[in-house]
């Protein structure tokens, strides 16, 4: 089974010469950066919560551009359907990774763009998850 957890990504420019906005280019750069980082597979830190460590086989963040914004798309692969309680625990786990765990380090890494670069944060306290079974 595959579940997606989606929410907007916050972009911060490191270059006044080239402001960064939500674009396909920004989404592509983030995805290239994510795929070069072995530490972006998030299930490696999942331990015992609601039995998720036994059924979640992969948690992989990526992005897509929806025509207006860069959206985080975190794909979670599981060996079985998850209960609503497990989905809620998994959403909390991903939020925690994005705010304090993996995401805290990731959002401090400059992603090159033109003569400058930008940072991307997958965590936001103001957006909830759009969760889908795909």
Per-residue pLDDT of the chain (134 residues; tens, 9 = 90+): 999 999 999 998 866 455 566 689 899 999 998 988 767 899 988 988 789 999 999 999 999 999 989 999 999 999 999 999 999 999 999 999 999 889 989 999 889 887 778 899 999 887 789 999 99
pLDDT of residue 18: 57
Residue 15's pLDDT is what?
60
Tell me what pLDDT residue 4 has.
98
pLDDT for 36 equals: 83
Q: Would the pTM of this model clear 0.85, i.e. be above it? A: yes
> Do 86 and 52 meet the contact criterion of CB atoms below 8 Å apart?
yes
pLDDT at 31: 94
Measured distance CA(46)–CA(97) in Å, rounded: 10
81 Cβ contact list (under 8 Å, min separation 6): 1, 133
């Amino acid at each position: 089974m595959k579940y997606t957890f989606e929410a907007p990504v916050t972009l911060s420019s490191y270059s006044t010469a080239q402001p960064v906005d939500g674009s396909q280019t920004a989404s592509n750069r983030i995805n290239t950066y994510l795929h070069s980082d072995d530490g972006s597979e998030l299930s490696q830190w999942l331990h015992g919560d609601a039995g998720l460590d036994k059924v979640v086989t992969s948690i992989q963040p990526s992005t897509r551009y929806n025509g207006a914004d860069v959206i985080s798309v975190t794909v979670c692969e599981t060996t079985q359907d998850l209960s609503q309680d497990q989905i809620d625990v998994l959403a909390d786990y991903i939020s925690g990774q994005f705010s304090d765990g993996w995401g805290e380090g990731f959002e401090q890494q400059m992603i090159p763009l033109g003569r400058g670069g930008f940072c991307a944060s997958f965590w936001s306290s103001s957006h909830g998850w759009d969760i889908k079974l795909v």
